[in-house]
Amino acid sequence: LHPLLASDATERQKARALALILHWHRGGRDVALPPFVPLLDDEHGYLQKMTLSILARGVPYETDLALRLVELLKERPTGDLMGPGAALARMGAEGVAHLVALDGSEELKERIAAFHGLGRAAAADLKPHLSLLATRIGDVEEDMRVRIAAILALRTMHGDCLSCLDALRQTLTEDSYDLVNPTLGVLKQMGQRAAPAVPDLLRWLDETDPRLVDRTAQTLGAIRARPDLVLPALEAVILRRGSDDAARAMAAYGSPAFEYAARILSEGDEYARYSILWTFANLGEKAAPIVPELIVLIDGEDPDISSRAIGTLGFIGPKAAAAVPILMKRLSYGETMLRAKDAART
């Protein structure tokens, strides 16, 4: 196939040959790869696109190829996952160095594309350049698109980016949803290492956008730090609008959360109660501390809440034995078969 790709064959013939190579390469076969530089010069663009698809999966570093990719990135600076930036990033430390060098470019689009490319690098290749990412993320004078691309690049570190935490916290103090959304994802990956950011995250639980509030709750549940601050804030969210994400975050804190869950079951509306019942049922016997509140709900006026409470008792199992008398009483009243089965599980 290599001579065919280097010949005057039609674009369609070359495309079929390249498609075979791409298929074998994706399948993990040890394929002899062709010279890529001529294929990147394809004036029609189709062969170039297929070639970039192969390069984005990772090929050994070659100076001529890397320089051509840099030229191509300058010609078409995009954040395409199959673009030249991604191809450079997958060439290892040497390819990443070319992208880092573009940080000094006077062309904003090139810098944006370079940082997007860094997001495709291996963690080991990106780690030496975390200080650069932190500088760009925390620079309030920097273009927003560069800062967002730098934050997104941190996802490849899978949370191992503690040196960037102060810069990420800086974004939480700014009124920018565009910055906060990717920051939440990185902090969630960091888990308990992001504990210092908890006070900065709490303000975003008061936002009017429910999706942003839920994402913030997910992040706090992954961090699992400062229950004295987080649990009252999550309780307020659940009481205000009901939130399965906030309830799951609360449950992630374990035993300190039961006091707040019990209060929500006693004082909350149907939406707040549903959030707690659905979530804490998944804890099984660990949810035993809220059995007294569940027993009260069984005799409540809302039949749906009562049925859900019975189901939650079933998931708790033998540790909910205190509910047996009330359940037997409900069965004697001629409950439906479904709810009788729920009670029998307990």
Q: Specify whether the CB–CB gap between 234 and 252 falls below 8 A.
A: no
CA–CA separation, 230 vs 245, rounded Å?
A: 13
What is the SS3 assignment for 336? coil
Is 335 a residue whose pLDDT tops 90? no
Kindly state the average pLDDT of the residues 9-34: 81
Closest to 110 (Cα-Cα) out of 79, 137, 136, 87: 79
Question: Could you report the per-residue pLDDT of 210-232, keeping only the tens digit for each?
Answer: 999 999 999 999 999 999 999 99
DSSP string for residues in 249-310? HHHTT-GGGHHHHHHHHHH--HHHHHHHHHHHHTTGGGGGGGHHHHHHHHTSS-HHHHHHHH
Residue 276 structure tokens: 């707690």
In the 8-state DSSP scheme, what is residue 33? P
pLDDT-derived band of residue 52, with 50, 70 and 90 as boundaries? Answer: confident
Is 346 a residue whose pLDDT tops 60? no
Look at the block and give the residue holding tokens 């994400």.
Answer: 245
End-to-end CA distance of the chain: 68
* pLDDT at res. 80: 62
Question: Could you report the per-residue pLDDT of 170-212, keeping only the tens digit for each?
Answer: 999 998 899 999 999 999 999 999 999 999 999 999 988 999 9
Q: Specify whether the CB–CB gap between 82 and 117 falls below 8 A.
A: no
pLDDT-derived band of residue 124, with 50, 70 and 90 as boundaries? Answer: very high
Question: Could you report the per-residue pLDDT of 64-119, keeping only the tens digit for each?
Answer: 999 999 998 888 766 665 689 999 999 999 999 999 999 988 899 889 999 999 99
Is 264 a residue whose pLDDT tops 90? yes
Q: What percent of the chain has pLDDT over 70?
A: 93
- pTM for the predicted model, two decimal places: 0.85
For residues 223 and 281, the model is more confident at: 223
Name 109's Cβ contacts closer than 8 Å, sequence gap at least 6.
77
CA distances from 36 to 39, 53, 70 (A): 5, 12, 14
What is the residue-averaged pLDDT of the chain? 88
Is 345 a residue whose pLDDT tops 70? no
